[in-house]
Structure 1
Amino acid sequence: MTDEGSTAGDKGELREFLRTRRARITPEEAGLTPAPGVRRVPGLRREEVAQLAGVSVDYYVRLERGRGSNVSEAVLDAIARALRLNDDERGHLFAVARPARTRPRPLPPQRVRPGLYRVLETMTEVPAIVVGRRTDVLATNRLARALYTDFDALPYRERNMSRFIFLDEAARGLYPDWEEVARSSVATLHLYAGQHPHDPRLAELIGELSVRDPDFRRWWADHDVHRRTFGSKRFHHPVVGDLTLDYEALTVTGDPDQVLGLYTAEPGSPSEEALRLLASWSGEVATGDRPHLPLPG
């Protein structure tokens, strides 16, 4: 990006994000009386968004087409309210509508601190995983490797959670709710793309997944965004069977692009027993920990 403004890619993301958000809301849901006649677009028209946001139609059209400059926080707030954006969507709108005006610098390599590695390895009863930029898997403990796959044994470029979800056949059997998990992964990548639109490794990942998986390609076009925070996931593990695990996604101090994911089971539940069995099994099959190597960039 140069000082003259956003790139064509940034403008395209803003245009498609606003278009897809408009398409989700009917005039009735927005409290408007639909104009008579056949509507050619799903959801709200541009002039209806402008009306709800209190801006001129010309201004909103120019903004959606990426031609707006120095758009104010107040205007973006008004558009976010008109489109009923959640917190993640609002943050994404601000990121793509007001991109940095300075030339982007190459992203430095992500490295997990040695102390955090030691913390992971002390966690013997819960799966723990550190996920970085573009859903790269930076570090795992033994139980996480037993739950998912041994990411440490994979080439660098394949140590990625989105690649695992979409390109590893084992993932479709591991997640009973595979579509929900996969769509969430796509939305997480979209949120990251708004923050780091010039990451060449992200472009490589998106290109590969779009070519190799039609589901990814279709869901990427939806422009949904999602930030990992907390929730629950169901697993069907080939060794210990069904588990329902709660997860917490904690931002690592010192690197907001690193997230520590922890999985726990409800005390006294069958999932807790299955997790104990998985820990026992992973200890029996372990042949010694492989060295952890940082991912480049």
Structure 2
Amino acid sequence: MPAAEDNLLGNYLKDRRTKLDPAAFGIELTRRRTPGLRREEVAQRANVSATWYTWLEQGRGGAPSAEVLERIARALLLTEVEREHLFLLGLGRPPEVRYQTSEGVTPRLQRVLDALEPSPALIKTATWDIAAWNRAAAAALVDYGALAPKQRNVLRLMFCDPRVREAQFDWDSVARFVVGAFRADAARAGATGQVRALVDELCQLSPEFAAMWRDHDVRGHAEGVKRLRHPVAGTIAFEFSAFAVDGRPDLSLVVYNPATPADAELVGALIEARRVTSR
């Protein structure tokens, strides 16, 4: 049997088990000498052998399968972060992604976007729907608020909106980058099935998209440079960076920093013009 300090998985399972309230599971509290659930109760909830689960806590049950860890995670009512930690301890890797539809952004996250001005910033989902944006993004990129929610999708805009197409200096290159990065994002988030309808629709609407999608190209999009042809301000250059939103695997933050002070002045003027117009 391994030393206690080496049995990280067993210690974690025991800790999570002892912190559960038996009453929440309809278990009588009489004659219980230990806090939380007993080993056999966890084993029953996870549909595994009580003997095997005991060995697992003791560090002598062998490597568990991903399916068994999933059942144990549900039995112990683990959060997503706790579930990931369980897999890292038990298998040395995170669990497979379980895609969840985005429920929008919190007011706190929106305030982060607003604080990034004059840099345009937005939050997009794994299916590349724009979930939130700041005033700089509306002024310099796309006025997302003027669009129907269904149209606030990067691929729809790139392939179906003439204004967005005209704003790109090299539309073909940008479009191929977008398709490749979108494919990689959807697979990474476990959302391949969820984007099927969007992909089928765009293949019908745009032969160019259909051809690029058939190429099966994948791209990373952590950072890069983007030049836009704005109808009012002219050419604006940005350095963009993409960030994961901790605790929200369905969302990512993209920030477009003006590449030069002159570009920052152009964005600032566009924001001010929108402010004056809104009055």
TM-score bracket, normalised by the shorter chain, equals 0.5 to 0.7
Q: Percent identity?
A: 31
Alpha-carbon distance change, 154 to 266 in structure 1, aligned in 2, over 3 angstroms: closer
Segments of 5+ residues of structure 2 without an aligned counterpart are 1-94
Are the counterparts in 2 of residues 242 and 274 from structure 1 also a CA contact under 8 Å?
A: no
1:125-165 Cα shifts (integer Å, max 9, x gaps): 11111111211101000110112222233222221111111
| Aligned-residue RMSD, C-alpha | 2.4
1:113 paired with 2:106, answer: yes
Are the counterparts in 2 of residues 143 and 282 from structure 1 also a CA contact under 8 Å?
A: no
Match of residue 157, structure 2, among 146, 151, 164: 164
TM-score norm. by structure 1 comes to 0.57
Task: Read off the aligned partner of 1:137 and give its amino acid letter.
Answer: I
Match of residue 268, structure 2, among 271, 276, 279: 276
Equivalence for 2:237: 244
Q: 1:185 offset after TM fit, Å? A: 1.1
1:149 paired with 2:142, answer: yes
Q: Distance in 1 between matches of 2:100 and 2:259?
A: 39
Alpha-carbon distance change, 109 to 176 in structure 1, aligned in 2, over 3 angstroms: same
Are the counterparts in 2 of residues 234 and 243 from structure 1 also a CA contact under 8 Å?
A: yes
Are the counterparts in 2 of residues 132 and 257 from structure 1 also a CA contact under 8 Å?
A: yes
Equivalence for 1:127: 120
Match of residue 203, structure 1, among 177, 196, 199: 196
TM-score norm. by structure 2 comes to 0.61
Q: 1:267 offset after TM fit, Å? A: 3.9
Q: 1:234 offset after TM fit, Å? A: 0.5
Q: Distance in 2 between matches of 1:129 and 1:105?
A: 23
Task: Read off the aligned partner of 2:133 and give its amino acid letter.
Answer: T
Partner SS, residue 233 of structure 1: strand
Q: Distance in 2 between matches of 1:205 and 1:196?
A: 16
Higher relative contact order (CA 8 A, sep 6+): 1
Alpha-carbon distance change, 186 to 238 in structure 1, aligned in 2, over 3 angstroms: same
Q: Distance in 1 between matches of 2:98 and 2:243?
A: 26
1:179-198 Cα shifts (integer Å, max 9, x gaps): 22211111122113434566
Segments of 5+ residues of structure 1 without an aligned counterpart are 1-100, 288-297
Q: 1:279 offset after TM fit, Å? A: 2.1
Q: Distance in 2 between matches of 1:196 and 1:190?
A: 10
Are the counterparts in 1 of residues 99 and 189 from structure 2 also a CA contact under 8 Å?
A: no
